[in-house]
Structure 1
Amino acid sequence: MQTYQNTNRARRYKAYVSTLGTTQIHLRNPMIIAWWSAAFPGFGHLLLSKYLRGYVLVLWEIIININANVNLAMIYSFNREFDKATMILEPRWVLLYIPVYIYGIWDSYRTSVDMNKVYILADRENARFINFQITALEINYLDKRKPWIAVMWSFFMPGAGQLYIHRIVTAFFLMIWVVTIVYLSHFLESVHFLVLGNLNEAKEVLNMEWLLFIPSVYFFAMYDSYVNTVENNKLFDNEQRNFLMHRYQKPNFDLPLTLNKRDR
């Protein structure tokens, strides 16, 4: 007996609202996505909502980087100690690092270009989607929020801005890694000694290999929270407009786009 797949649905959706977050597609600059992948492999994919691929690349970056001593080599290079930078690199791990690093940049750029095309088609179809989810564990719904608040909370604690806009999985992922990196780099201990005026101890206690991860994670958390807050606000406006047009606007109603001079 032949069975047929149910096709009584739209081909493409611009967003999916679940209890764990709101996933959406929107236009992105492929060069910016590729730049974030170059700054930290996996971040470009997280911006594209390619979460599983992004988490794998982030884990890979940290594990391989530490074993290959890439950050330590960068520190020696900044100090113009190129001989030490060359000697400290671990060839067995560096040869694993290079191809996947380049792949992350290439794949994020390629995926960004493809998803821009998909978004254009989805925007033309303008399919309706569920904008409210409630379960025993969480409630998620489309709402307008302030981008600067998301950036502020991400500055104080990376991941908090994602919690503000209900990106639960990404928020927990960022928080776990930030706590790990800050702890292993002894960053807060260094701040403590710096406040007490012990500059030498503040410098000596730092683990520079782990410290170099902090800027990328901090700035990514702020950028990601800002961009997604702005796009969620646009998505809310679009969904609300579609609802009002479908529910209240008559098909023969001519919506004036400009006002007459006497109406101004």
Structure 2
Amino acid sequence: MRNFTNKNEARRFKADVNSFGTVIIHRRNPYIVACWSMAFPGFGHLLLEKYVQGLLLVLWEVFVNQQTHLNRAMVYSFTGEIESAKAVLDVRLLFLYIPVYLFSIWDSYRTTVDLNKIAVLVEREDGPFNTFSINATGINYLEKRNPLVTFLWVLTIPSMGQLYLHRIVLAFFSLTWAVVFIYYSHLLEGIHYLILGNVEKSTSVLDAQWLSYIPSYYFFTIYEAYTNTVEYNKLFEKEQKNYLKSHYQSPNFTLKKGQKVT
């Protein structure tokens, strides 16, 4: 494996392993990324490892949504209470929400298409990447993980799967917002009363405005952790193949026409 530091020693890099996580350039479905941006502005950018843009869009979504009471109005409209939806909705910031929402969808789609082109070039150029990082902030290294284990951990509390993958930035973000959403929605309190059989009390304590954030947020952390486990495993296998090829394969080795490597 080539020894390098991620400066300008290669035109494009396949990945970077650092103490805060592992970043990979790989092909993604732009429609899936755009759909996550539709579900929650910023999620599409987080999938693309664009953390600053993603976190800013998520903060914007929560701030404007809370100020306009958009989630509560949506709940009323879904249940047919149109007049209640009109009464609770604050339109002073609502029209600022629309262009940012559309921008997040468009920009995540556009960026995915561009990164897919770069991913193809990286594969053809056999872009280099490091496999181990150690410094004062911590240790990170490539290893093969079980996607099922990731899936089971992230089912418990959002961010556990990200911690398992050593995605520190996203794990901190996920855990922080999980606490905020669960606390202000009174979700655990509602579950507590539901277990006791007091359905009416369980329903009354829930805050629909905060509770509406949880489904998209919860399933996003599951999807993000699982797909990245799969991509990390591919990267691990590629590094292993490159190492064996460079250290043990004869330079005179050639494949005959029609022969396949098994």
**TM-score exceeds 0.5:** yes
- What residue is the counterpart of 2:28 in the other structure? 28
- What residue is the counterpart of 2:53 in the other structure? 53
- What residue is the counterpart of 1:262 in the other structure? none
Q: Mapping of 1:62-211 within 5 angstroms?
A: 62-211=62-211
- Is the partner of 2:92 in helix, strand or coil? helix
Q: CA deviation at 1:162?
A: 0.5
Q: For 2:29 and 2:127, how far apart are their aligned partners in 1?
A: 24
Q: For 1:195 and 1:242, how far apart are their aligned partners in 2?
A: 54
Q: CA deviation at 1:255?
A: 4.3
How many residue pairs end up in the alignment? Answer: 253
- What residue is the counterpart of 1:230 in the other structure? 230
- What residue is the counterpart of 2:42 in the other structure? 42
Flag the 1:67–1:144 CA change in 2: closer, same or farther, 3 A.
Answer: same
- Is the partner of 1:91 in helix, strand or coil? coil
Q: For 1:129 and 1:26, how far apart are their aligned partners in 2?
A: 13
Q: CA deviation at 1:128?
A: 2.1
Q: CA deviation at 1:254?
A: 2.3
- Cα RMSD of the aligned pairs, angstroms, is 1.4
- What residue is the counterpart of 2:246 in the other structure? 246
Gaps spanning 5+ residues in structure 2: where?
1-6
Q: CA deviation at 1:9?
A: 1.5
- Is the partner of 1:182 in helix, strand or coil? helix
- Deviation string, structure 1 residues 145-164 (Cα, Å, up to 9, x no partner): 01111111111010000011
Q: CA deviation at 1:215?
A: 0.5
Point out 4+ residue stretches in structure 1 off by more than 6 angstroms.
none
- One-letter amino acid of the structure 2 residue matched with residue 77 of structure 1: S
Q: For 1:32 and 1:127, how far apart are their aligned partners in 2?
A: 26
Q: For 1:191 and 1:93, how far apart are their aligned partners in 2?
A: 33
- One-letter amino acid of the structure 1 residue matched with residue 229 of structure 2: T
- One-letter amino acid of the structure 2 residue matched with residue 168 of structure 1: I
Q: CA deviation at 1:137?
A: 2.9
- One-letter amino acid of the structure 1 residue matched with residue 158 of structure 2: P
- Deviation string, structure 1 residues 96-134 (Cα, Å, up to 9, x no partner): 111100000000000000000010111111122211001
Q: For 1:14 and 1:92, how far apart are their aligned partners in 2?
A: 45
Q: Conserved in 1, the CA contact under 8 Å of 2:15 and 2:128?
A: no
Flag the 1:253–1:31 CA change in 2: closer, same or farther, 3 A.
Answer: same
- One-letter amino acid of the structure 1 residue matched with residue 88 of structure 2: I
Gaps spanning 5+ residues in structure 1: where?
1-6, 260-264
- What residue is the counterpart of 2:4 in the other structure? none
Q: Conserved in 1, the CA contact under 8 Å of 2:151 and 2:161?
A: yes
Q: For 2:81 and 2:147, how far apart are their aligned partners in 1?
A: 42
- Deviation string, structure 1 residues 139-179 (Cα, Å, up to 9, x no partner): 10011101111111111010000011110110010000000
- Is the partner of 1:133 in helix, strand or coil? strand
Identity percentage over the alignment? 53
Flag the 1:200–1:126 CA change in 2: closer, same or farther, 3 A.
Answer: same
Q: For 1:202 and 1:8, how far apart are their aligned partners in 2?
A: 58
- Is the partner of 2:133 in helix, strand or coil? strand
- Of the structure 1 ranges 138-147 and 84-93, higher mean CA displacement relative to structure 2 is found in 84-93
